[in-house]
Amino acid sequence: MHVFLNGQIVLEEQAVVSVFDRSFLYGDGLFEAIPYFGGRPFRWAEHLTRFARGAQLLKIRCPFSDEAMRKAADELIARNKMPDALLRLTLSRGVSAMRGYSPKGADSPTLVMNLHPLTRPDPEKLLKWKVIIASQRLPAGEPLAQFKNANKLPQILARAEADDAGANEALLQNSDSHVVEGTTSNLFWIENETVNTPPLVAGILPGVTRSAVLDICRALKIKSQERNLTLAGLKQADGVFLSMSSMGIVAVESLDGVKLPEPAVIHGIHRAYCDLL
């Protein structure tokens, strides 16, 4: 496998960073995961916009332009012969001259791009996941939630709880006791034929696939709205599904072991999403 590291395409074994890299020491970095199908990225611009917003919030100057990154990403897809792949783009603040949290003088960021195998969603086959509610909470209104930051311990702990329960994903509540998102997915639920999803101010990731789902709802004339919901409310829903760039649309088959209804609208949104790819 070839990896892009600071302007060079190198073998995986040579893709290394200093133990003084700030993303290794403090999680001082951010990332994106962009799906490629048939050698072309899906919603490249939306991913890069979120990436740039994160870099701006953290004040990390990305050393490559969007065009240079796109060129390098395409080359990586070609070199690895992986037309269907999930591209991970990682930007770290790099090495500091000084010890400590201050970003002052840490002005040689590290940019990494690498690929993971990816399967194109099948319009005839909706994935169905067992989901649990994690005990770990997320802070409501957290500005760092606006992009994929490299501080993922809450998600890792929640995901470990899912593993222990034999589940595919864990949903997290925020500090206001609203169910807000999965560890790697945005949350939707159906109620009175309306598709609902938590608002961004709840402290969730503005997912690219989340946004595609809202586009699909408009196109298919399905009512949709953003609102907060407690766990008790979620358990009463007419159906629950998740969205993520790597998998697309996934139905929640059971929540904490209780089977959920699976209305036709979830299948319709899944098929419409597959049509976009």
Q: Site residues (CB under 8 A) for a copy of itself?
A: 3, 5, 12, 15-21, 23-29, 31, 58-59, 86, 88, 90, 92, 99-104, 112, 114, 116, 136-137, 139-140, 143-144, 149-160, 162-163, 175, 183-184
Q: How far is the CB of 53 from a copy of itself (least distance, A)?
A: 14
Nearest-angstrom CA–CA distance, 46 and 274: 18
Report, in Å, the least distance between residue 183 CB and a copy of itself.
Answer: 5
Q: Where are the alpha helices (DSSP H) in 205-248?
A: 208-219, 231-235
Instruction: State which residue, 149 or 243, has the beta carbon closest to a copy of itself.
Output: 149
Per DSSP, 64 falls in state: S
Cβ–Cβ under 8 Å, residues 242 and 169 = yes
Nearer to a copy of itself, 104 or 218 (CB): 104
Widest CA span in the chain: 57
Q: Which is nearer to a copy of itself, 147 or 273 (CB)?
A: 147
Which residue has 């998102």 as its token pair?
A: 181
Q: Min. distance of Cβ 219 from a copy of itself in angstroms?
A: 30
The least distance separating a copy of itself from the CB of residue 252, rounded to whole angstroms, comes to: 18
User: Which pair of tokens denotes residue 72?
Assistant: 């390098």
Comparing CB distances to a copy of itself, the nearer of 154 and 263 is 154
Shortest Cβ 214–a copy of itself spacing (Å): 25
Question: Which residue's CB is nearer to a copy of itself, number 175 or number 224?
Answer: 175
**Inter-CA distances, 211 with 88, 101, 190, 208, 215, Å:** 20, 34, 16, 5, 6
Phi, psi for residue 16 in degrees, rounded to 5: -130, 155
CB of 182 to a copy of itself, least distance (A): 10
Tokens of 6: 């600071």
Per the CB < 8 A criterion, the answer to whether 91 and 60 are in contact is yes
Residue 24 or 37: the one with the smaller Cβ distance to a copy of itself is 24
